[in-house]
Amino acid sequence: MSRTILHADMNNCFASIEMLHRPRLRGRPIAVGGSVEERHGIIVARSYEARAFGVKVGQALWQARQLCPELIIVPPDHDKYLRFSNNFRNILLDYSPQVEPFGIDEAWVDVTQSMYGRSGGEIADEIRERVKFELGITVSVGVAWNKIFAKLGSDMKKPDATMVITEENFRDTVWPLPASDMVGVGRNVERDLRKRNVRTIGDLARLGPDLLESWFGKYGPCLYAYAAGLDASPVREFGAERLVKSVGNSTTCPRDLENDEDAHIVLLNLSESIARRMRELGMMATIVQISLRRNDLTWFDRQVKLDRPTSLAPELCAVGMELLRANYAWEKPLHSIGIRGANLVPDTTPIQLSIYENEEKRRRAEAIELAIDEVRLRFGHQSIGRALLHLDGQLGHLDTTKSNTIQPVGYGV
């Protein structure tokens, strides 16, 4: 039986919510972004008017202002966005219990069992009208028989539109799109495909699973299935636990980092936040990755597989510093830095002990981390801290508690 899956995406979510609360901003080029004074200068969202000037998400504020001198920068209000996100999901739950969020502003809905004689396009139109009436913002909805194409559909028509992709028309509508438009084709995969002159989703589908497996290993057949419309992954019921692939955090620093000592302070701060999040999830990292952005905004990342999984901040930070020292010669100062614990495993995973490690010392370190978690839970994150973080008032007291990114297994590379 063919499924009917919707992907609903709130149009320019943060910017739309800000304009709803500040009507004077309507029709003007606005962007939601960080503080210029504190150097958190990245565009998080922008209005269509700002987009027309070439302003892009992820762009530095100074670059955006060069493109659009009249740009109005609004600071983000995450509590407000979460409230809208919850209301948005409650509307979707009226149509199916199978509502799977994909970020704060979008979600899949499987309406196969709740169509009652209506088409997927009709349900999508009804959802758009309800969101517009009840929340005051617009959504775009893609309709298809699988999650990958439904997501593509919601991206193809914006704003406030419904795009229906069928098993009859997908070769004409989906295959001409750039391969990078498809969920699962990240920056690294896109670069490798371009080297092989694979440009479109159709190019990807025509290669076949065997060749893609020779290029990308076990992920190759998955890419083929996505491009060929063969994705059969289910839409999970709302609230169902999702397997987590990685937990990461990054920050734009209040001043450029000039040396290892500066980087160590920031990496330890970030490591504490992701280690705590991993412990909350009951997970440990088997891979540590760092990402570095120079002050000319060029960037690179490096990663290493651990001999032993961990969710301890000092261990994560130590590995991050080893990666940095081995790969960065400080030819230019660093503008931002990030660290990620990846390929997570449950904290109940059996571990091969080493005769070269002091296991008693490690158990004490784990107990200390749990005690710190308890203190911070009761009295706040800043109630207790490591001495190293107090060596620099700017770098050591960054608020990294609200910025963790959690990537689920199944999407992205």
Catalytic residue positions, numbered: 106
Which stretch of DSSP H or E encloses residue 9? strand 5-10
- Nearest CA among 115, 111, 106 for reference residue 152: 106
Say which DSSP state 389 is in.
Answer: G
Burial of 65 (0-12, 13-18, 19+ CB in 10 A): middle
- Separation of alpha carbons 294 and 197, rounded Å: 30
Is residue 25 within 8 A of residue 34, CB to CB? The reply is no
User: How far, CA to CA in Å, does 175 sit from each of 75, 227, 411?
Assistant: 38, 8, 19
- Separation of alpha carbons 49 and 72, rounded Å: 11
Reported in sequence order, the residue ranges of 295-333 that DSSP labels E, i.e. its strands, are 299-310
**Which DSSP string corresponds to 140-166?**
EEEEESSHHHHHHHHHHS-SS-EEE--
Q: Which residues, in sequence order, are CB contacts of 209 under 8 Å at separation 6+?
A: 220, 221, 224, 225
**Which DSSP string corresponds to 265-299?**
HHHHHHHHHHHHHHHHHTEEEEEEEEEEEETTS-E
Query: How big is the chain, counted in residues?
Result: 413
3-state secondary structure of 246: strand
Tokens read off for 407: 């990537």
Q: Which residues, in sequence order, are CB contacts of 272 under 8 Å at separation 6+?
A: 313, 386, 400
3-state secondary structure of 229: coil
**Which DSSP string corresponds to 181-211?**
GSTT--HHHHHHHHHTT--BHHHHHHH-HHH
Torsion sign (Cα): 236, 239, 241, 242: positive
